[in-house]
Amino acid sequence: MAKGAQGRYVSVEEGTGRSRSEGSVTYSPDQAVEGCGFGRFQIVLCCLAGFCWMADAMETMLLAFVTPAVRCEWNLSDGAAAVLTSCVFVGMLVGAYVWGRVSDTYGRRRGFLFCTLFTLVAGVLSAAAPSFEFLVFFRTLVGFGVAGAHVAFTLFAEFLPASQRAISMLMLELFWAVGSMVESGLAWTVLEPLGWRALLLFSSLPLLALALLFPMVPESPRFLMIKGRRDEAERVFERLAEMNKRPLPPGRLADPPRAEPAKGFKDLLVPEFRHTSVLLWFMWFVLAFTYYGLVLFNQELFREENAGHRCGYG
């Protein structure tokens, strides 16, 4: 197999001397994505990935509303309230690695489904927690599941043409803002008349809707190619072309590349990537520290404001 001047992969048929004929021309996954462009397929996938991001924003944002209510109902100390707030992030710390391994082993599509169902079940169980210890345990599991949201990001990015990648990934952040606003409105509506358990339960419903929409989620063609499932990857690209009403490049999808050795954490610290890795880690640390610090500090502001009152909800 050789690469032509225009970047198209071609194969030479043995014994015929023919090359670049219609039957021998092949295209790569990148060429298929670029050729089909940005269209309805990516818009639908953006909504699905964004819905996952919105649901996870709701599960995280509700900490600012649930913690004061639980503290009041069970008379928790400041330390216990801090544990309830922090346990979600402990789960996320572990889940980020686990879901990455799951999506690399079983596929982006299955990883998307597994983390959605896991978070849904853990969220519902949180609403039924009989004690503080069980609530902490279930919210830790929610954090573990929420960490899998990056699988949806990865899947969406793999279908984006290079010219649309930056703006499209930024558009997903709008869903986080929408999820935060929805959760605030839900807390204002539900928390006082129905209590914190109802808020936990209702906050899990978007995950149920997402699970019902799972049949619309495609598998990553790159994952299929790595696993040697070229025909399945080709069918995904055919669906992409059909929805975007754009033709695939001529020929057929190239044969899967030879599998490379699996990469590990230490590969992020080789001289080629060390500077970028450390810089990204620092940026995410500052972002998370500032964002969650401000969001979760709101409960302390409201606590000071209402210091003379007992719980008005729960």
Least confident of 41-45, 103-107, 170-174, 310-314: 310-314
pLDDT digits (tens, 9 = 90+) for 82-139: 888 889 889 998 998 899 889 888 989 999 899 999 999 999 999 999 999 999 999 9
Query: Residue 295 above 80 pLDDT?
Result: no
Given this model, what pLDDT does residue 79 score?
A: 85
Burial class (CB in 10 A: 0-12, 13-18, 19+), 215: exposed
Given this model, what pLDDT does residue 302 score?
A: 56
Burial class (CB in 10 A: 0-12, 13-18, 19+), 253: buried
Given this model, what pLDDT does residue 236 score?
A: 92
* pTM (global) more than 0.85: no
pLDDT digits (tens, 9 = 90+) for 22-44: 457 888 888 889 888 899 999 99
Least confident of 189-193, 256-260, 268-272: 256-260
Q: Using CA atoms, how far apart are residues 103 and 91, in angstroms rounded to an integer?
A: 18
pLDDT tier for residue 260 given thresholds of 50, 70 and 90 = low
Q: Which residues contact 19 (CB under 8 A, 6 or more apart)?
A: 2, 10, 11, 12, 13
**Neighbour tally for 18: CB within 10 Å:** 12
Name the average pLDDT for the chain: 82
